[in-house]
Amino acid sequence: MTSKLFTPYPLRELTLKNRMVVSPMCQYSAVDGNASDWHTIHIGSLLTSGAGLFMLEATAVEARGRITPDCLGLWNDENADALHAVLKAVRKYSSMPVGVQLCHAGRKASAHKPFVGRGPLQADEGAWPVIGPSPVPFAEGWQTPQAMNREDMDTVIAAFVAAAKRADQIGIDLIELHAAHGYLMSSFLSPLANHRDDEYGGSLENRMRFPLEIFDAVRKVWPAEKPLGVRCNGTDWHEEGIHADDAVAFARALQQHGCDFIDVSSGGNAYVKVPIGPGYQVPYAERIKQEVGIATIAVGLINTAVQAESIVTEDKADLVAVGRAVLNNPHWPWQVAEELDGSVEVPWQYFRAATKKGVPPPYVR
């Protein structure tokens, strides 16, 4: 029997060769938003993983929208040129589609990168002002964001549009808008961060309004043949935050606006204890898939072949996104192919070491 994980999956005119996705993983290694030599190493390694899709990390649409000073960006042409140079070098050796996760960190911007510090930057460390739906800081000790007015919203929408256009110009195949983890779009959706009393706050319909405006603006300029999706929270893990019913409603609204897929994550709008374990976010993807019928990506400690296969065969999600497992073993999909009798694309330079199911990509001298 053919493994479902190794069957193709279409998204508009893009067809993924299998159901495995390399999840977007922040590298905190850019310089003024520009991709660095590390990105050549990182992206090049994972583009030979054999997965069906590689997702670039959270990529800021504004300088003030960076999570940290070292986050990747597409807010200017210099950023686009640097990323294009990396992609041009590494894509010669892989036919894997490349997507980008466009992001604005909102009130969680201006933070330390991991392993250097914790929490927000201080003024003497180069902190910059942050924005959000309401003047509500993420947590004690974090900056109080400037509450966004209409002009601020229009500026952010224009930044997403400009970044999407740059992504198209450098050959990106797919965009995922980051509306999870407490970043700007997520903070508008969550009652934990959104205390507005205008048409952008209060009811879920109102809280969805600005994220949907961003989606619509990007969909308008993103080529019709290319997929556009959204990462959102299935839950905030907080009784006063987003719950599964809200996630289903948001997914249904996005589907009506032309969204192609939902990547279901969780948390990040408050410091809470999350019950982390293998596949801990999968039930939220399953609810959206079953109740909305939109293509879904499950993510969250998916690290074995059997686990990944069961998610797609049991219709809990259409695709599985893997992060830590492929950082630990960049050829994890080769191992999965061997276990499930599938086949993946393997560079001819590595072909002697690959599973017998490996398929070489077009030869590149």
Q: What residues are labeled active site?
A: 183
As a whole number of Å, the CA-based R_g of the chain is 20
* Close Cβ partners of 64 (under 8 Å, ≥ 6 residues apart): 109, 110, 128, 129, 130, 131
Q: Give the C-alpha separation, 236 to 272, whole Å.
A: 9
Sign of the CA dihedral with 48 first, then 49, 54, and 55 last: negative
Say how far apart CA 90 and CA 74 lie, in whole Å: 19
DSSP-derived letter for residue 99 is: E
> 204-221 and 244-256 helices cross at what angle (nearest 10)?
40
List, as one string, the DSSP characters of 343-355.
--B--GGGGGGS-
CB neighbourhood size of 349 (10 A):
11
Q: Is 271 exposed, middle or buried (0-12, 13-18, 19+ CB in 10 A)?
A: exposed
Query: Could you tell me which residues come within 8 angstroms of residue 268 by beta carbon, excluding any fewer than 6 positions away?
Result: 108, 180, 181, 182, 183, 186, 233, 236
Q: How many CB atoms lie within 10 A of CB 320?
A: 30
Beta-carbon contacts of 200 under 8 Å, excluding residues fewer than 6 positions away, are 133, 188, 194, 206, 207, 209, 210
Beta bridge partners of 58: 101
